[in-house]
Amino acid sequence: MNDKLAIELNESNLHQVIEQSMQQLVVISFWAPSMPETAEVNAVLERLAAQLPGQFLLATLNCETQQMVAAQFGVRSLPTVALFSNGQPVDGAAGPQNEDSLRQMLSKHLPNEDEIKLSQAIELIHQQAYNEALPVLRELMTSLPGNSQVFLAAAECLLETSQFDEAETLLGQIPMQDQDSDYKRLVAKLELHRQASDSPEIRQLEEKLAADPDNGQLAYELAIQYSQANRQQEALEILMGLLRKDLNFADGNAKKTMMDILAALGQGNALASQYRRQLYALLY
């Protein structure tokens, strides 16, 4: 057996392997060296494990050398394949198996493509790779409409990449029964942003600009304040308006400020992509 694809089950690691089924599907193949058809089942399962990396844990139990362990499972004939999830047996088959029959049995218990993508996106969030996770989550919002876990994960990415308006829209779509601790945490983060982004300096500049809407310097100062308060979309919109009127506004500082904001948002950020396209269209 290839140790990288299958664990050899014995009395010392039995509990650990069954515990692992709390995290992923565990497949146990009961076999005996004296029965070639059981080794064939092991080979097929190893091939499937290689084709479906990380989707299930394969363990093999040699019933000739581990008779006491085999007895605990009540195995009556060989080959036997048993599937465990959440610490409990959930499926199985006795007798010779081919690849099609084993694949069909596994498919009933393995995560589907969307579930795998969601797990990958959540792992990216754990790594704080929000810009990489967000495009995956946007796809899943289409293929899994109404899935609150997807919407909450996307809202977290949006909050962490300063796309607050869209995050607020997503959080507003979470039904009452799914407003769990994660939802409350994200709403609290959004509220903290609101409080921090509505400073007296910003309100004063907004009032002055409302009274003098053609004052470019006031608009530029407000854009700076918005940017410092993580209100990047509003800052970019003001800067874009200034650059459309004068590409060299404030001796090029408006363009530099906009480029700095776009660089800070990152390459994968949807908001940055939107305004980067507008800026490049203006420049070239």
Question: Which residue is associated with the tokens 């596994």?
Answer: 106
Retrieve residue 89's tokens.
């047996």
**Pick from 149, 146, 145, 111: which is nearest to 133 by CA?**
149
Same domain, 178 and 258: no
The verdict on 101 and 118 lying in the same domain is no
| Residue 136 covered by a domain | yes
161: three-class secondary structure by DSSP: coil
Predicted local confidence at residue 3, as pLDDT: 44
CB atoms under 10 Å from CB of 62, counted, come to 20
Residue 123: domain span: 113-196
Q: What share of the chain is helix, strand, coil (3-state, %, to 5)?
A: 60, 10, 25
232 token code pair: 């990047």
Of 88, 107, 126, the position where a domain reaches its end is: 107
Cis? peptide before 79, omega within 30° of 0: yes
Total domains in the fold of the chain: 3
Among 90, 107, 124, the domain boundary falls at: 107
Q: What is the pLDDT along the chain (284 residues), one digit of tens a residue?
A: 344 579 999 999 999 999 999 989 999 999 999 999 999 999 999 999 998 888 899 999 999 999 999 999 999 899 999 999 999 999 999 998 999 999 999 999 988 889 889 989 999 999 999 999 999 999 999 999 989 999 999 999 999 988 888 999 999 999 999 999 999 999 998 988 887 777 888 999 999 999 999 999 999 999 999 988 888 889 999 999 999 999 999 899 999 999 999 988 877 788 888 999 999 998 88
Query: Does 277 fall in a domain?
Result: yes
Q: Tell me, yes or no, whether 271 lies in a domain.
A: yes
Given the DSSP bridges, would you call strands 88-94 and 80-85 parallel, antiparallel or unpaired? antiparallel
Helix (H, G, I), strand (E, B) or coil at 213: coil
Q: Enter the pTM of the model.
A: 0.56
Last residue of a domain, one of 107, 131, 155: 107
| CATH code for the domain in which residue 18 is found | 3.40.30.10
Rounded to an integer, what distance in angstroms lies between the CA atom of residue 29 and that of residue 60?
Answer: 5
